[in-house]
Amino acid sequence: MGKKSVTFADIARYTHFSKTTISRYFNDPDSLTVENQEKIAAALEELGYKENKVARILASGKTEFVGVIVPNLYLHFYSQMLDEILATYETYGYKFLVFAGDDNRDVERRYIEELLAYQIEGMIVLSNTVPSEELASFQVPVVTIEREDRFCSSVNTDNRAGGALAAGLLDECGCEVLIHINSDVPESVPAHGRISGFVDACRERGVACELMLRDFGHGYEEADRTMRQVFEELEERFPGRRKGVFVSNDTYANMLVNQIVRTHGGLPDEYRIVGFDDSPVSRESVIPISTVRQQVSRIAQEAMGLLMAQMEERKKRRPRPLGEPVHKAVEPVLVRRETAR
């Protein structure tokens, strides 16, 4: 064929199939026998066929695009998760359109409308502003990660187990009082399990437990100011006592470590710190932070695999949609570093 683009007519002549059959191979392969699919696939390789993606989208209405909505990117967990989701292109071949919603429900609804206008085939949602019942009403498969998920399939960390792991490590460090710093997370959100798992583990161990639930706002500077106030309260309420502090994520844990180091010139013996995520900031902190690892790569793969199955099912002539949402939990892993040996 030289440098000429290979057309459906060329493939039809080479295989002795009709152009209609060749079109069905690209747009509805299940309508052909496996033998004929293999013959056409071999011909494409022999002819050096390069697919015209735009033409295929126009012909089939299938874009191979997946929409992704994250609440923000200043929390390291979301940027790390996004990186892992994008990396699934090598496995599944789906491309991504990404929006950061800044925890604003109206903004995120507008983003969803735009994604649907691009004819996305599925959506992964990490932001928690739009209810799962509303997400399930859109005419595309949706998988959520670490957010309220009653009406949508989801992949989450076993947050209760993670909270218990943090409490156990701090207790082993000989702390006199265990403290959990978090937002006031609703029980419907999986991350609430970090609170309940921590509290229950403290009760089982007979260790004094305190919750410091605060509004950390919607940006790094606002969160850092709040953490400074939390640190000042810790200093005032628990002077001289060995404090075991479990922080809801590594970004906030790093903020706390920075406050402690600025004040004390290092990490004094009266502080033990555990974060949650195992994002890069926990390893790169001025004092590496013990943490509960969310297996981000595995979560991303599970979420994309779950979404992929639903998207592929919809392409069949007689699709069988899920009867009920599928919920998967990934176990956390305790990581010991300098802040809680």
**CATH code (residue 12):** 1.10.260.40
Instruction: List CB contacts of 146: < 8 A, sequence separation 6 or more.
Output: 126, 156, 157, 189, 190, 191
Q: Are residues 165 and 147 in the same domain?
A: no
| 1 falls within a domain | no
| 2 falls within a domain | no
Q: Are residues 32 and 54 in the same domain?
A: yes
Q: Chain-wide mean pLDDT for the chain?
A: 91
Q: Are residues 283 and 311 in the same domain?
A: no
Q: How many Å apart are CA 7 and CA 301, to the nearest integer? A: 35
The domain that holds 226 is classified in CATH as: 3.40.50.2300
Q: Are residues 34 and 77 in the same domain?
A: no
Confidence category of residue 53, pLDDT binned at 50, 70, 90: low
Confidence category of residue 127, pLDDT binned at 50, 70, 90: very high
| 3 falls within a domain | no
pLDDT at 23: 83
| 73 falls within a domain | yes
Q: Are residues 83 and 184 in the same domain?
A: no
Residue bearing tokens 């400074």: 228
Collapsed DSSP state (helix, strand, coil) of residue 126:
coil
Q: Are residues 168 and 224 in the same domain?
A: yes
- Domain C-terminal end among 60, 83, 99: 60
Q: Which residues of 115-126 are buried (b: 16+ CB within 10 A; e: fewer)?
A: beeeebbbbbbb
More confident residue, 204 or 58: 204
- Which amino acid is present at 272? R
Collapsed DSSP state (helix, strand, coil) of residue 335:
strand
**Residue among 185, 173, 166, 153 at smallest CA distance from 302:** 153
Domain that holds residue 20: 8-60
Residue 101 φ/ψ, nearest 5 degrees: -90, -5
Q: Are residues 174 and 267 in the same domain?
A: yes
| 196 falls within a domain | yes
Does 68 have pLDDT greater than 80? yes
Q: Are residues 118 and 168 in the same domain?
A: no
Confidence category of residue 52, pLDDT binned at 50, 70, 90: low
Q: How many Å apart are CA 279 and CA 68, to the nearest integer? A: 20
Confidence category of residue 4, pLDDT binned at 50, 70, 90: low
Q: How many Å apart are CA 32 and CA 281, to the nearest integer? A: 51
Q: Are residues 110 and 129 in the same domain?
A: yes
Q: Where are the alpha helices (DSSP H) in 217-279?
A: 220-237, 250-264
pLDDT at 45: 85
Does 59 have pLDDT greater than 90? no
Collapsed DSSP state (helix, strand, coil) of residue 319:
coil
Q: Are residues 56 and 76 in the same domain?
A: no
Mean pLDDT value across residues 135-157: 96
Q: Are residues 254 and 311 in the same domain?
A: no
Q: How many Å apart are CA 86 and CA 295, to the nearest integer? A: 16
Collapsed DSSP state (helix, strand, coil) of residue 123:
strand
Strands, E, within 158-250: which ranges?
177-182, 208-213, 243-247
| 18 falls within a domain | yes
Let me know: does 82 contact 73? Beta carbons within 8 Å.
yes
Collapsed DSSP state (helix, strand, coil) of residue 168:
helix
pLDDT at 341: 81
Let me know: does 80 contact 128? Beta carbons within 8 Å.
no
Q: Are residues 91 and 140 in the same domain?
A: yes
| 214 falls within a domain | yes
Domains identified in the chain, total number? 3
Does 291 have pLDDT greater than 70? yes
Q: Where are the alpha helices (DSSP H) in 16-126?
A: 19-27, 34-47, 53-60, 76-87, 89-92, 105-117
